[in-house]
Amino acid sequence: MLVQILNGLVYGGMLYVLSVGLVLIFGLRRVVNFAHGGLFMLGAYVGYAAYGIGGFWAAIVASIVVLGIFGIVLDRLVFRALQKQEPMVTVLVTFGLLMVLEDFVQSVWGKDLLTFTTPPSLSGTVAIGAVSFPVYRLVVIAAAVIVVGGLSAWLKLSRAGLYVRASSVDPVTTAMQGVDTEHLSALVVGVGAALAGLSGVIAAPLLALSPSMGSTILIESFIVVVTGGLGSFTGAFVAAMVIGQLHNLGVVFVPNIASMVPLILMVGVLIWRPAGLLGAKA
Amino acid sequence: MTLLQFEGVCSAYGSARVLHDVSLSVSKGERVAILGRNGVGKTTVVNTCLGLASMQSGRMAFLGRDVKAVRTFTAARSGLSVVPQGRRIVSNLTVRENLILGGAPQRKGRWSVDEVFRLFPILKERAETPGTAMSGGQQQMLAIGRALMSNPDLLILDEPSEGLAPVVVDELGETLVKLASGGMSILLIEQNFGLVHKVAERYYVLSKGSVVEEGKLAGLSMETLKKHVAV
Ligand SMILES: Nc1ncnc2c1ncn2[C@@H]1O[C@H](COP(=O)(O)OP(=O)(O)O)[C@@H](O)[C@H]1O
Ligand SMILES: [Mg+2]
């Protein structure tokens, strides 16, 4: 049972790091980013390439840096123009982008499953009470905790974080106060993409790498964002943790419908609280 | 020095032109009012300064410098601070955070969070509450305090008395007079003649997007002023 709960935390933590990027991008650009799963997948592959050259920590750094820069470029070239468009255009363009990324990765690395081995220094298990648990999975939980803490501190305590919060509810008033909200949005999309890259690379040793690995997790990530309340960071955290648990408990107790459990939760929340668990009241 | 100058400005939202050939100016130390009924384009004057309405022709200058490619953040960084119509307090920020947001241009000067708290002690009491959880009058104080945080050369207020009780409007007038006597230049957009009379020394009347009247307030009775605006 303890192992199941810990595994739920691992999955929930990974989901949170991915989903919070979606929340950031939606908050500042009002763009629902279907390409986010592609960024996750690209992060895993960039990490895979860097791992071969400089080891695990190089993989982490490379994914964060490459995806962060890619995010800023994406904001300048695509998202900035999308914010004035109809939602349907946004869906089509970002979904198209996901496919382009998948094709790109497939042409470079092929479509066969690749394994990203757990770094030797983090393999092995530790005893927690009566059970033993893989060290690497604890590292994933720790990474999620660091992202939660770091992001909350940045948003709550720094000037830039204050501008981000202000801009996510009222970009025009924020700009009136002298903040360059375009610049800020590019930075935030960069951070969101870097977090997608980070979640991809930390998830890589737990999953097999394939060009389509991003599409699967994208669905659950959207469920997290919608369930938590669009635009709510705390909501995304709570939803990711709940869905992480449901995901694992579902696999154990109701294996036939496990993949439907998070979906059922989302539908329930939408009926009971349309704005999401912690979303602003509409 | 001329802090804000419009010369033959035509301004529009998309293809819908709202301002026609508007010329006006506010110099350092002046208190100027813009009067006019609903929908005549008063807010559009502000929106043109903020790049929210696009200037199609004419010339606009902030502190004597021509502004060509205006962005929404340009005015605040150049020293023109706006207290927008409807106050626009940011709802997910506390009172203190709204003030810090106003300090974004990081221009040097006497105004700081503590200095705003000295001007409006009630804001200090409510410092950690959400900005929108206060009364209309308190929110107006916060909007003014937030605008002061950038240490502006010109304070632009768009219908600050809107929705406030008469006694609160009186207090607002006193605050503005106090700021003016401290050397602050003010552009006051208003429909409340009492407030205009108390604060401003010069006025423009706007009608259907054009300046139809301008003059000095000294010696002008409230009745005459009302007649001018009713054109
Ligand atoms: N964002 C906008 N888009 C299009 N038209 C607008 C917009 N804001 C105002 N208008 C139009 O411009 C005209 C002037 O509006 P405004 O400047 O807000 O008037 P006032 O502040 O004097 O009441 C009105 O006819 C109004 O309908
Ligand atoms: Mg108006």
| Separation between Cα atoms, residue A198 and residue A143, nearest integer Å | 9
Could you report the per-residue pLDDT of B146-169, keeping only the tens digit for each? 999 999 999 999 999 999 999 999
Q: What is the 3-state secondary structure (H, E, C) of chain A?
A: CHHHHHHHHHHHHHHHHHHHHHHHHHHHHCCCCCCHHHHHHHHHHHHHHHHHHHCHHHHHHHHHHHHHHHHHHHHHHHHHHHCCCCHHHHHHHHHHHHHHHHHHHHHHHCCCCECCCCCHHHCCEEEECCEEEEHHHHHHHHHHHHHHHHHHHHHHHCHHHHHHHHHHHCHHHHHHCCCCHHHHHHHHHHHHHHHHHHHHHHHCCCCCECCCHHHHHHHHHHHHHHHHCCCCHHHHHHHHHHHHHHHHHHHHHCHHHHHHHHHHHHHHHHHHCCCCCCCCCC
Q: Do B52 and A172 touch (CB under 8 A)?
A: yes
Q: Which domains does chain B have, with CATH numbers?
A: 2-229 (3.40.50.300)
Distance from CA of A172 to the nearest CA of B (A): 8
Give contacts of B154 with chain A, Cβ < 8 Å. Answer: none
Q: Do B90 and A166 touch (CB under 8 A)?
A: yes
Each residue's pLDDT tens digit in chain A (282 positions)? Answer: 788 889 999 999 999 999 999 999 998 998 899 999 999 999 999 999 999 999 999 999 999 999 999 999 999 999 999 988 888 999 999 999 999 999 999 999 998 899 888 888 888 889 888 888 999 999 999 999 999 899 999 999 999 999 999 999 999 999 999 999 999 999 999 999 999 999 999 999 998 899 999 988 898 899 999 888 877 888 889 999 999 998 888 888 888 887 788 888 888 888 888 877 777 643
For residue B24, give both structure tokens.
């006006």
Whole-model pTM: value is: 0.90
| CA of residue A281 to ligand 2 center, whole Å | 28
Q: Is the ipTM here above 0.95?
A: no
Which of B71, B92, B104 shows the shortest C-beta gap to A177?
A: B104
Could you report the per-residue pLDDT of A115-136, keeping only the tens digit for each? 888 888 888 889 888 888 999 9
